[in-house]
Amino acid sequence: MGKSRDANDERYRERERRDKDYRKQLPGEDEDPLPPPVEPIHVEEKPKRNDPCPCGSGKKYKLCCGK
Ligand SMILES: [Zn+2]
């Protein structure tokens, strides 16, 4: 009965091979597209000259640390 089993094995392998070929056509899922370069966000908190000074003196910035 070994022969018939070999035949089945052959058929099974054939199907597996076709399955692999089919899967090769699909786009790979393990390859992520490179993310776009991200520019570092440079946030500079610059108080306006007429705003209260951030140092907490209560004076306008232009009359305090903004001099
Ligand atoms: Zn100040």
Q: What is the pLDDT of residues 13-46, one digit of tens each?
A: 999 888 887 777 766 667 777 788 888 877 766 7
Q: State the pLDDT confidence band at 56, using cuts at 50, 70 and 90.
A: very high
18: in domain: yes
Structure tokens at 61: 């910035």
Query: For residue 41, which amino acid is it?
Result: I
38: in domain: no
44: in domain: no
Q: Which residue has the higher pLDDT, 37 or 63?
A: 63
* 44/63 Cα distance (integer angstroms): 20
For the chain, the domain total comes to: 1
In angstroms, what is the span from residue 63 Cα to ligand 1's centroid?
A: 8
Domain span at 19: 1-25
Residues ≥6 apart with Cβ < 8 Å to 51: 60, 61
Q: What is the CA radius of gyration of the chain?
A: 35
7: in domain: yes
Q: List, in sequence order, the alpha helices (H) in the chain.
A: 2-25
In angstroms, what is the span from residue 15 Cα to ligand 1's centroid?
A: 78
In angstroms, what is the span from residue 46 Cα to ligand 1's centroid?
A: 13
Please state, as a whole number, how many other Cβ atoms lie within 10 Å of the Cβ of residue 51.
12
